[in-house]
Structure 1
Amino acid sequence: MNRPRVLVAGLGDTGVLTAIHLARHVDVVGISAKPALVSGQELGRRLSHPDDWARDYWVGFDRFRGLDRIRTVHGSMTGVDLDERAVSVVLADGSSHVEAYDALIIATGVTNGFWRRPMLQSSADVDGDLRAAHDRLASAGSVTVLGGGAAAVSTAANIAAAWPRTTVDLFYPGERALPAHHRRTWSQVERRLRTLGVGLHPGHRAVVPDGFSCDRITDSDVEWSTGQSPTQADAVVWAIGRVRPNTDWLPAELLDDNGFVRVAADLSVPNRPGVFAIGDVAATDPLRGSARNRADRLLARNVRAHFAGRPLRRYRPRTRRWGSVLGAQSDGLEVFTPSGRGVRFPTWSVEHVLQPWIVQRAIYGGVRAPSAQNAVTDPDVTDRARSPRPGV
């Protein structure tokens, strides 16, 4: 008897993990607009140290041992026929394609600034975006970062650490940044930012120009709806959390009023048996926490239970964000618990224990070292990645 076919729409962090958990039990097809896993994590490290970031967060699909059993499709989804159980795809070569499924997992994530966009890209495109943003900031004498979430805070800290002569200012609308984290987390991160020389400016809400989608670094004056005088800098990073779900290819019946995929407590889509959603695209809770709390393993169990006719388990979201905020620094990595307490991993443990054993082996089920055969970039791009970069 043929095994059920599960289509994972979107191979970001959550989609890859869900596909890995399912691959031993069902036939899995993954569709990705990128040629590899291009993570949306650790924006600050991505901007300040792109080579280090790419080593851990830009990983070819063929390097994941857990994905050996699945078939990946490089293309953009343009629609779905829920009755016929088929997804329409435009492939990287421009041709049209249809993928049938027995169960569909929607994991297409969100668009968020210039670092998380859904367009179809080659490895050269990804590399070009990575280098252009880094070079723009490396040449700036002053940088303004807008936003109070982890992406903004991480960006300000890492730019200040990488280029100490650059004037870095962080503007956020509330009395404190990281409002979704425990207050204790912000207290510790705030001290780090001040030590790095980052100027902190609470109570500032930027005016977003008409038609501007926050998808590029700008140099125009920033105006404030909160009454302050305009602010000028050589480079302005918009990390204000204006996310848009990547759901243009889905019918309106699956979506809530904000365009996110409606899900029940078990991550299934109501009234559509065999359709599930996970990650930032899924309307699970205000924080959309299934992207960060290992709901991938629960969803894989639920998909298998769906085929076997067994009850599905509930996903229980957390009420606070937790984890790394600043990413790996020169003195190691600090991870914050939901209660706001920091757990520090020294540099040697990040390089020799955390990444190879906990992340690559325990979480991802084994990741091969890059080689000429499975590198995600072409030779020209790889040569550029090895060359010295400003400030790195």
Structure 2
Amino acid sequence: MTRPRVVVAGLGDSGLLTAIHLARADVDVVGVSSKPGLVSGQELGLRLARPADWARDYRIGFDRFRRLDRAEIVHGELTGLDPAARTVAVRDREIRYDVLVVATGVSNGFWRRPGFQTDADVTAALGSAHDRLAGSASVLVVGGGAAAVTTALQVACRWPEKRVTLAFPGRRALPQHHPRVWDVARRRLADAGVVLLPERRADVPDDFAADEITAGPVAWTTGGPATAADAVVWAIGRVRPNTGWLPAGLLDEHGFVRVEPTLRVPGAPGVFAIGDVAATDVLRSSARNRADRLLARNIMAHLVDRPLREFAAPRRRWGSVLGPERDGLRVFSPAGRPFRFPAWTLDRVLQPWIVRRGIYGGVRPGIR
């Protein structure tokens, strides 16, 4: 009897974990990725300030994941979906599926782009962004989310001689987190010498993609003089779903994939979606709340015609906001309370045991 084939379209953080769970089940898994390995969208600040440290934990070749040994990995760019024929197109190749997982994520700034990349392309992108900031005497970070906050803090800690400024549109940054998170983050930013500019909304065109590091000055629609800077990091949340390869009927008015609470896509039998591309809730929180395990269970239940479980979205964002610091890593709960992993545990406990062994199910050593 032929085993069902599950195609996971997109092997970023959410798609990779879903594929890892499914690879242990009685199905054939095919993962499609435009990248040569995991190139995580997490920890932008560390990526910019210390790219080698970031790459050790957030850039991992697919061949290093032990639980993907039974999966087929296709390195290519998705170009189309035929729900009636149950096939996806990857350049000039068509791949049949019994179940399809859409996990192609979003484009967001220079650090999350959908296009095809080789290992050399990824290395060049990491190096050029780091070098751009390293050669700048002043850095302005524009945005009020976690990506902006961690970038300002990590850059200021890496280069204390630079003038680092964080500008955000509200009275406080991190509006999607519990207020306690900003209380902690504000103190850490102040200790690092970051200049805070609240209630500053940048004057940018509607079609501005914010996908490169630019130079100042930056003008504000909320008043006040323009702010000069040698380098401007745009983290203003202008995400664009990577859904150009999908039929329009599967998308909502903003281009995200419509999903039921079970993460199933209505109107497309056998199709599910997860991660930032899935319109689960306002925060699209299936990307950050381990919905991958629930989705894998739902797919197996779907294949044997059993009831599916529903994803319950949290009301606030949570997790790591500041990135690894000298005294460790703070992980915030949805209630805004931080738990700190001491610095010595990051390389001895957190990454090797909790992340690589516990979450990924085993990662082979890489070449340093």
TM-score normalised according to structure 1 size: 0.93
2: CA distance between counterparts of 1:346 and 1:221? 39
Residues 256-299 of structure 1: CA deviation (Å, up to 9, x unaligned): 00000000000000122210000000000011000010000000
1:17 aligns with 2:13: no
> Is the deviation greater in 360-369 or in 210-219?
210-219
Aligned positions of 1:182-221 closer than 5 A: 182-209=178-205, 211-221=207-217
Which of 275, 289, 293 is 1:293 aligned to?
A: 289
2:107 aligned partner: 111
1: CA distance between counterparts of 2:132 and 2:196? 22
1: CA distance between counterparts of 2:113 and 2:222? 29
**Aligned-residue offset at 1:210:** 5.6
Which of 174, 177, 184 is 1:178 aligned to?
A: 174
Aligned positions of 1:89-238 closer than 5 A: 89-90=90-91, 96-209=92-205, 211-238=207-234
1: CA distance between counterparts of 2:185 and 2:355? 24
Aligned positions of 1:1-392 closer than 5 A: 1-25=1-25, 26-90=27-91, 96-209=92-205, 211-371=207-367
AA of the residue aligned to 1:366: G
- Runs of 4 or more off by more than 4 Å in structure 1? none
2: CA distance between counterparts of 1:175 and 1:335? 23
Structure 2 alignment gaps of length 5 or more = none
AA of the residue aligned to 1:251: P
1:374 aligned partner: none
**Aligned-residue offset at 1:208:** 1.5
1: CA distance between counterparts of 2:263 and 2:116? 27
Secondary structure (helix, strand or coil) at the match of 1:29 reads strand
AA of the residue aligned to 1:59: I
2: CA distance between counterparts of 1:100 and 1:156? 45
Secondary structure (helix, strand or coil) at the match of 1:223 reads coil
Structure 1 alignment gaps of length 5 or more = 91-95, 372-385, 387-392
1:93 aligned partner: none
**Aligned-residue offset at 1:209:** 3.3
AA of the residue aligned to 1:54: A
1: CA distance between counterparts of 2:58 and 2:336? 25
**Aligned-residue offset at 1:363:** 0.5
Secondary structure (helix, strand or coil) at the match of 1:213 reads coil
Equivalent residues of 2:146, 2:174 under 8 A apart: yes
Equivalent residues of 2:83, 2:269 under 8 A apart: no
**Aligned-residue offset at 1:192:** 0.4
Q: Cα RMSD (Å) of the superposition?
A: 0.9
2: CA distance between counterparts of 1:218 and 1:9? 32
Residues 315-354 of structure 1: CA deviation (Å, up to 9, x unaligned): 0000111111111112111111111111111111111011
Residues 55-102 of structure 1: CA deviation (Å, up to 9, x unaligned): 000000010011111000000001111100001112xxxxx1111100
Residues 119-171 of structure 1: CA deviation (Å, up to 9, x unaligned): 10000000000000001101110000000000000000000000000000000
AA of the residue aligned to 1:58: R
Equivalent residues of 2:250, 2:267 under 8 A apart: no
AA of the residue aligned to 1:24: R
TM-score normalised according to structure 2 size: 0.99
Aligned positions, number: 367
2: CA distance between counterparts of 1:278 and 1:197? 38
Secondary structure (helix, strand or coil) at the match of 1:367 reads coil
